[in-house]
Structure 1
């Protein structure tokens, strides 16, 4: 199916239900965006010349909002929070220290540590200064302490950072790529009660079920 170049919707969402696109869909549901989805298959679908013009990395998720291309899940979450300020998913500008800190902590150290461990990449003690996350155990302990200190990653209120961080915790605990730490299970239960999370999850689960028929 040709990729949409125009649509009545202001947002086009390029995804695959079995991908990090689940994070972006959750965020789209949180802001109540009117979006059109384009499901791309791994391989030829994501590497087509048509899609590479939109995202040269050939990766999903990618969104096009008002003609602007946004890639990378953390960026999509932050962008949509700002694009829909009435939803209150970003703190005020003078209260964004923790919001930015933990959003990018998860996009950098957390994801790198999880992926390297899953791939069997071992960082030796004398190499820790070369990698931004130091070591896997330190990353999880650091996140654990933050989640014990406040109900949400940036404080008392749910924000777009919780969509991103929460997705990592939910995914990591479900698939075993993250070891359990104090606060993880409670945090996962808290964020997964969001109506937007449930709605997004249902859509992707139905898409996966259709593909498996």
Structure 2
């Protein structure tokens, strides 16, 4: 019998990334909706994620948090979905997934908070500066196919989520390459299903 798979999430969170990834796998899973400040900080959930944030998944005896890790884990846990390249061809797959988890997310967060890195401190923050991150991301999504090659992969779920949200909430520069890449992903049936599920779970108003 397949191991039980549970998604802990909130529809107004990065849990939408994990939901999209789960829908891409075709796996059967349960959803546990948590609220900020209450059930997300309750003792039962803190045993799963001491950070008290979502998403998290529990799959059999495995607990996985952090969206990039969840995407990578699910791609390996459900290999029939074909969401990871062969093990000997994962350079770009890992590179861009963790670029988005590190430099991209940090640069966007700092920019959103109004924090500008002084030129003399760029080496300290790791990502350098916002413009350099945007240029690098643009290069990554400007080629033919998908971000890690000719096939869609979990890296597209993760990087694509950042770009789709960034364009929607205007935390990302509106460049033609970003819009084209987001448009390429928008018609994926799994993304549409995930969006419908999360939208239906939104609180009234």
User: For the superposition of Structure 1 and Structure 2, which TM-score range results when normalised by the shorter chain?
Assistant: over 0.9
1:119 equivalent in alignment to 2:125: no
Other structure's SS at 2:163 match = helix
Deviation for aligned residue 1:151: 2.6
Deviation of 1:97 after TM superposition, in Å, equals: 0.3
The reply to whether residue 55 of structure 1 matches residue 27 of structure 2 is no
Match of 2:84 in 1: 90
Q: How does 1:200-211 map to 2 (within 5 A)?
A: 200-208=194-202, 211=203
| Pairing partner for 1:177 from 155, 168, 171 | 171
| C-alpha displacement of 1:37 | 0.5
Provide TM-score, normalisation by structure 2. 0.97
Which range moves more in the overlay, 94-103 or 149-158? 149-158
- CA deviation after TM superposition for structure 1 residue 9, in Å: 6.7
Find the counterpart in structure 2 of residue 191 from structure 1.
Answer: 185
Runs (4 or more) in structure 1 with deviation over 4 Å come to: none
Unaligned runs of 5+ in 2: none
Over the aligned positions, Cα root-mean-square deviation in angstroms equals 1.2
Q: Deviations over 1:90-140 (max 9, x none)?
A: 000111000000000000000000011001111010010101110111101
Q: SS of the residue aligned with 2:164?
A: helix
> Which runs of 5 or more structure 1 residues have no equivalent in the other structure?
1-7
